[in-house]
Amino acid sequence: MLDLAVLLIVFLLSWSYFARKRGNTRGLPYPPGPKQLPIIGNARDIPQQSPWLTYTEWGKKYGDIMHVQAFGSHVVIVNSERVAVDLFEKRSKIYSDRIMGKMTELMGWDYNTGLMPYGDKWRRHRRLVHQEFRADATAQYHPIIMKNVHFALRNILATPEDFLAHVRYIAAATVMSIAYGYEVAPTNDRFVQIVEDAVAMLSQAFFPGATLVNYFPMLQHLPGWLPGMGFKRFAQKCRMLTDEMQNAPFEFVKHHMLAGTALPSVTSELLDKVDPHGDVEEQEATIKRVSGIIYAAGADTTTAGMSTVVLAILLHPESQRKAQAEIDSVIGTHRLPTFEDRKNLPYVDAFVRESMRWHPAAPLAVPHATSEEDVYQGYYIPKGAAVIGNTWAMLHDDTTFPNPDLFMPERFLNDDGSLKEYPMAYFGFGRRICPGRSLADAEIWATAVAVLSVFNVTKSKDSTGREVSVDGGYTGGLVSHPLPFKCDLKPRSTAALQLIQESSQMI
């Protein structure tokens, strides 16, 4: 029986490959890439973990634009910012679509605005997100951010060994307050745990090559007991989490609105604007989806960015001292920094930018897709191809960033010490650029400047007094977080200690 099942799967895979295989209608070459095997193409070459590193190495051989193919599905990898701008911005009409992977859909993430195919539904969702998080609207959230940052400072002082959890709190508490008017518990919050688990599962199964069902959607219809069908159980478990991730906080807001106790939030504001003469159910469903993605996307990527900043502070003590000297010179030691100080702290801004360049939260961008066939630099790119911006390669390009493996905030400063105006690839390109980038940038900067102003961050020591080594490793999924690391965070002075203790009175 098992042999028959295996034969059935092989037959279906082969049939699907030949049924879906696209011909090159122009007779032009695809972009260069690794040699392909019959039928499977590059399926064995496409990595499941940290694919940006492999693609960057391939780029040294094949160039700024590469092509791989697996079971008839085409993937184009973009390794330079120049090509990314050409395709994603100058040709955005063609390169703004998404391919909704079957695994993504099975896991319940098809509601996600960032993963949604280009079209009217995406525009409706994007419009709602943009009106709340455009750059000129983000300032309204600065008090919320600072309140949560100051709370985290006090928690770090109390339990410095849990500093990563306290950093996660800043992102979670900020986005939950903005999206739902919900006050996050300092530890073990139910809503926060749901989203962290759901995003972690998505990260494992997102990239091409992670699961065969993305290449052969028909596999979803086969019995779960067949070999290779473990993805079905994985997807079902994730769907339960994503459903709860949308429904639980949304119902929380509706309950408190009925009771008259709801705090101001994006969700309550949008619900107040529902047209009672229109399709109320569809309007509420759209609001629920949009709020859910604010909650899911906002917390995880921002946490990764904040954690990277702390790791950068730890591993680069000379840069830490320079940033602290700038803060002391501009602000002094009698108060904590505010957003009004940002324009006068260019080195701190450069430090944050260099941290995001050094290890971006999303080293590989969410794939774009072509809505029609195209020709670029003499290469043929078929309709429906996944086109992936390799953010890691762009931010480690030694022609743009000399000595890219070195941590040098000075690369973002002019000779006079002012901040260079340079668009950063880590927020994406074109019509698919991250709509919440201003909020994320504000949270990461606020965390960095607050920690630098009152704490010295140094390596921990073991019982013999030796420094505990930090390897600086990262997770390899869709959102890349620093692996857990130890460090000591101690107040810089008695004055700094007093500022931390009194920070609850400063908002």
Question: pLDDT for 19-39, tens place per residue?
Answer: 445 557 668 999 999 999 998
pLDDT in tens, 189-245: 888 888 888 888 887 777 666 678 877 888 888 888 888 888 889 989 999 999 999
CA atoms within a 13 Å half-sphere pointing along the CA-CB vector of 435: 22
- Which residues fall in the annotated binding site for heme? 434
Residue in 342, 367, 365, 295 with CA at minimum distance from that of residue 133: 295
**Domain range summary for the chain, segments of one domain joined by +:** 1-503
- Which residues fall in the annotated binding site? 434
Are 347 and 323 spatial neighbours (Cβ–Cβ below 8 Å)?
yes
Chain centre distance of CA 317: 27
- For residues 343-347, average pLDDT: 98
In whole angstroms, give the CA distance from residue 495 to residue 335: 9
Q: What percent of the chain has pLDDT over 70?
A: 93
Residue in 207, 180, 211, 210 with CA at minimum distance from that of residue 195: 180
Q: Comparing 178-192, 289-303, 331-345, 435-449, which segment has the lowest mean pLDDT?
A: 289-303
Per-residue pLDDT at 375: 97
Q: Which residues contact 133 (CB under 8 A, 6 or more apart)?
A: 294, 435, 436, 438, 439
Q: How does strand 73-78 pair with strand 386-389?
A: parallel
In whole angstroms, give the CA distance from residue 22 to residue 147: 54
- Can you identify the CATH homologous superfamily of domain 1-503? Cytochrome P450 (1.10.630.10)
Per-residue pLDDT at 6: 45
- For residues 474-480, average pLDDT: 90
Per-residue pLDDT at 413: 97
DSSP 354-423: HHHHHS-SSSSPPPEE-SS-EEETTEEE-TT-EEEE-HHHHHT-TTTSSSTTS--GGGGB-TTSPBP---
Residue 134, pLDDT above cutoff 80: yes
pLDDT in tens, 107-128: 888 888 888 889 888 888 888 8
- For residues 468-482, average pLDDT: 92
Are 198 and 242 spatial neighbours (Cβ–Cβ below 8 Å)?
yes
Tokens read off for 210: 């992670």
Does pTM top 0.85 for this prediction? yes
Are 487 and 314 spatial neighbours (Cβ–Cβ below 8 Å)?
yes
Q: Measured in Å, how far apart are the chain's first and last C-alpha atoms?
A: 68
Tokens read off for 245: 């991730």
